Structures are given as structure tokens and as C-alpha cells.
Structure 1
Amino acid sequence: MHGARVAAAPISWGVCEIPDWGPQLPWERVLDEMAQAGYEGTELGPWGFLPTEPERLRAALQDRGLRLVAAFVPLPLRDPAHYPQAEAEVRRTAELLARFGAGCLVFADAGDELRARVAGRPQLTASHGIRPADWPSYGDRVTRLARLVRDSYGLPVAFHPHGGTYVENPQEVDALLAHTDPELVGLCLDTGHLLFGGGDPLDVARRHASRVNHVHLKDVDASRLRGLLAQGLTYAQAAKQGVFVELGTGSVDLPGIAARLREAGYRGWLVVEQDRVVTDDTDTLASARRNREFVRRTFGV
């Protein structure tokens, strides 16, 4: 895949923005292992995990030969009253990313307790979602924020469908893209979350190829996912029970994704992620190396 580059994200080391997710490893260990496993860059992770003072962060990355490639920012987008909060979050993160020449800022809906309870169940998310009449205003808020990011910070935006949020199932992904400006809002193709939400990542990659400007490579044990969702688990509970697995060991057609991205001429970042909980004793380096080797074999980078 000519021109694409491979990065990692702190979530593969158990670092997550969700409260009470689990133990958090030191950022120094996380960056050290990314570099040792052969990744070229990292996403920022939750605000405050990596140093946010620019010179300190620059030194930490340069010492390990890593680049800052993007940041994932969950935003309270459903309620117009929360727009100022979303804008403040966007400005804070975009200002830091712009200093590092990052590839993009990744938006996601922040979700809420209701959507967390029905995550991964399209038959329920469809009736607990954004009303058709409200999609134009939702899309307008996303587009306005994306225009702010482009005009003020020079960064493109990718929108990330995510389990437990109001942009999760295939119909919601289609609606989001239909109601946002394609010149301003791209798509973060997260292969795991699209499957989690009841979709087919390969179908999304095919139908929305022109919008894909950032990629999160994940794999999912679909059989385990079905069993856990049948028990009524939330997104976070299911993730903690191991539904996200190492690349090539789950149910996502990653070779098919590679072929589709290659056909589309994708030249952006491929960010390896495995949403999970780890401890000090977890051999995160060995896992990171296996994932990196899978990307090398399957995607040719």
C-alpha cells in the first residue's frame, strides 16, 4: 500500500478516556514499546496521558523516533446546548496537534448512558437514536466544528463511528456522512467499531471510499461479542471482556480491507488499536509486535 504509514494508539496498552476503565501503564513504557515494536507514530490518547506541554511532548516523541499523528476526541454533539463545550475541547486538542503537523483530528460522538446500554444491538440503537428530523442540525454542528479546525488550525477532520454512541450502526454512519460537508468531514474507518455496531467494515470502506481519510485497524471476536451482548453488557463491559482481539485472530475481513484501501489509493495513517484492559504483567510489547507484523504481511507496509 504505497504511501501509507503505520502508527499505534495508547488504547492497545489499556489507556482509555472512559472513567474506571482499568489500570494505566506509564506513558514512558507505552511510547518505548511502540518504538520497539516498529511503529512510526502514535495518537495522543486521552488528554493528559501523554505530556501536553509542547516541548516536553516533542522531546518524548523525538527520543523514540515517533510522530504524533492524530487525536481521538469524544464530543457532546447531540444536544445543541453543549456546543460551546465541544468547541472548547476541539480548540484545545487542535492547537496541540497543529504544533506537530499531525495528520488529522478525529471526532466522535460522546454517547451517553442510554446508548451505552444498547450498544452493539442495531435493532435497539435504531429506536434509541437521533430522529430523522434532527440529523441536519447534528450534521451542521459537526461541519461547523470541522470548518473551525481547518480554518484555524489547518487540520482535516475524520469522524469516528463508535460503539455506545449516537453514530454507531450502519444507518447512523450513512446519515452522518449525508448531512456533513464532504470537503470538511472525512471518515475514520474503524474496522472494529463498525463491526461492533452491526455493520460490515468492508461494505463501508467500499461505499464511502472517497470519505475515508484515517483508519483504525481493529479485529473483533464476533462469536464472543454476540454472547456478551446477549447478556446485556455495555460497550465498555464487552470490551473489557476481550471482544477486541489481535489483528488476524478475529472476524474482520482485514485482507479485504487492505485490498479495498489499496484500490482506493489510500495514503494516510493505519493506526493499530485493540481496546482492552491490561496490567503491569501483560506482555504488551509482544502483542504490539504481532499486530505490527500482521499489518506488514497484510497491508504491505
Structure 2
Amino acid sequence: MRAKLGIAPIAWSNDDLPELGGDTSLQTCLRESREAGFSGVETGGKFPKSEAELRPELETFGLELASGWYSGTVLDAPDDLAEEKDKVASQLELFRSLGAACLAYGETAGTIQNKRDAPLATRRRLSEDEIKVYGRRLTRFAEHCADAGVPLGFHHHMATAVETEQDLDLLMKHTGEAVRLLFDAGHMRFAGGDVLRVVEKHGSRIIHVHTKDVRGPVIESLDRSRQSFLDAVLEGAFTVPGNGTIDFTAVIQRLADVGYEGWFVVEAEQDPVKAPPAEYARIGYRALTAALTKAGYRIDGVSA
């Protein structure tokens, strides 16, 4: 089995909380990502939006484009999806031309993930009937992305309409095979789900993996009726593998068991003053390398 190791720029510069690394340059992020050992990155707000600009930046540091976030609003879109297709077109072209594994689709219709004054408990919730309608529409959008050469990986996410294990189960039930899954261990654990059970149930749909870790005591101490997702980030809810409470040796073994091959991406939004990105990137890299090797993966770009 083959694995690639990537990292997201959010540890260096948080688009939703500019006070966290807002002055850090893209070049610093790319250089430190490569120095830590990673062979790929995901996109962020500071990344160029065209192949002509982004390809040279990646090549300078010997990095591939693994994937990147897309703020989708299919949940509230008209059935013809015309505006959504127009909105995604340039990102699909960029990702196709640079060989990204998938589009990291996050459903942002009604999201509170970027609202400091919106408590976690107030996030949007959908009935099964609403998820059925959404699932049909999302499937058509995913088919459109696949036809454009970039599969859609659905990113379940805290503070959105698809947050919990039950939400995800229903979405997988009511979508077609074109809707693949971006599995994020940290978001699922934060939402109270069983990360190993989710892999067991939906392993055949997983196209991309975020290895976000969590600090259990921080999550357990949150007042979800008062504190927001961004409050949780600032409290230190997230961290890299090897520094939190998720057993990534077990998670990666379960992914191996279901036959997953592809990117394993460290994505951990933290205060870069408290958690220096270069240092934490190395912690995550070491933890993942050990866990992947134990599970029998061959890691691209790493000598045997």
C-alpha cells in the first residue's frame, strides 16, 4: 500500500482568524513544510489561484498539490446548480492541472465555523428528509466535479450541517458513489463520533484523510452553549498527531484494513505563537511516519 504525507497551511496562517499567523508568508509555509519532510500541501487563502503562479511556487520547494478546501453552498443552491458550477470552475481547473487528489468540499451554507459569536450548540441541523434532498443535489454536483477531472471529497466539519457521525451516516446513505469522503479524525472525535467505526462503515468511500488530532481535556471542558468553534481553536482544541489524544496508530491500521491508499494530511489550526508550526509539523511527521510504517504502508518520498 502507498501513502503520501501532506500538510495544510492553516498551522502557519489561519484564514478565519487572521491574528493567527496573518503575517506569515506563503514561502515560509512551503519551505517549512518541505523541511519537515512533507511531499505535498493543501491550498489556503495566500495561495495563488492560477496554475501559472502556483506551479512555480510548489516546484521551488519540491511539493505536490494534495487538495484544498472549497466552500460549497449546494445545500441551499437551486436544483440546476448553475451558480455553484460557475463558482467552482476555476478551482477545478487549477486542481485538475496540478493533479490534486480531490476537491475538499465543505458545506458552508448556514455554517457557523467562522463566526466567533455563534456557540457550537447553535449549528444548523438537518432532518433525514432534508438530507435526502441535499444528497441528491450533492451527488449531481459531485458528478460534475468528477467529469471535470477532480473527484469531490466531502469534508464533515464541526459547526456545519454535517458534523456528527449520524449526520455523516445519513449523508453517505443518501448520496451516490460520486460523493467520496474526506475523513477527518479530529473533527469526528470533536463531534463525539467513533473514528474507528466511521472508517469501518465508510472506508470504501474515503478518498482523502486529514490527520487532525485533538486535545481531549480542552474539548471536554468547552461550554458548547456559549463557546464557538473559533473559541475552541483559540483554546487549543486541535493539534498534530503525536501531541493529542487520538490513537493514530489504531486509526491508520483501520484505514489500512479497509484498503485506503493516498494522502494523509496534517491539518491542525493552532496559535503559531504557542505551537510553532515548523516544530509541530515535525512532530506530526514523525508520528505519522511511525504509524504508517507499522501498518505496512510504503510512504512516497521516504527512503525505506
TM-score when scaled to structure 1?
0.89
Structure 2: how far apart are the matches of 1:295 and 1:114? 31
Gapped regions of structure 2 (runs ≥ 5): 294-298, 300-304
Equivalent of 1:244, from 217, 234, 238? Answer: 238
Q: 1:206 to 1:4 in 2, by over 3 A?
A: same
Report the secondary structure of 2:75's partner residue.
Answer: coil
Structure 2: how far apart are the matches of 1:282 and 1:253? 20
Partner of 1:149: 145
Structure 2: how far apart are the matches of 1:257 and 1:21? 32
Trace 1:131-210 onto structure 2 (pairs within 5 A): 131-151=127-147, 153-182=148-177, 184-210=178-204
The offset of 1:277, in angstroms, is 3.0
The offset of 1:231, in angstroms, is 6.5
The offset of 1:162, in angstroms, is 0.3
The offset of 1:251, in angstroms, is 2.0
Q: Number of aligned residue pairs: give it.
A: 289
Structure 2 letter corresponding to 1:297: A
Q: Confirm or deny: 8 A CA contact 1:90 1:145 kept in the other structure.
A: no
Structure 2: how far apart are the matches of 1:163 and 1:50? 24
Partner of 1:290: 283
Q: Confirm or deny: 8 A CA contact 1:14 1:276 kept in the other structure.
A: no
Structure 1: how far apart are the matches of 2:275 and 2:219? 22
The offset of 1:70, in angstroms, is 0.7
Trace 1:217-256 onto structure 2 (pairs within 5 A): 217-230=211-224, 232-256=226-250
Per-residue displacement from partner, 1:181-206 (whole Å, max 9, x unpaired)?
A: 12x11111100011111211111011
Gapped regions of structure 1 (runs ≥ 5): none
Per-residue displacement from partner, 1:258-280 (whole Å, max 9, x unpaired)?
A: 1111112211100111122325x
The offset of 1:90, in angstroms, is 2.1
Report the secondary structure of 1:7's partner residue.
Answer: strand
Cα RMSD over matched residues?
2.1
Structure 2: how far apart are the matches of 1:108 and 1:53? 21
Q: 1:89 to 1:241 in 2, by over 3 A?
A: farther
TM-score when scaled to structure 2?
0.88
Partner of 2:64: 67
Partner of 1:109: 107
Matched, 1:299 2:292: yes
The offset of 1:101, in angstroms, is 1.3
Partner of 1:13: 12
Percentage of matched positions with identical amino acids = 29
The offset of 1:230, in angstroms, is 4.9
Structure 1: how far apart are the matches of 2:38 and 2:180? 24
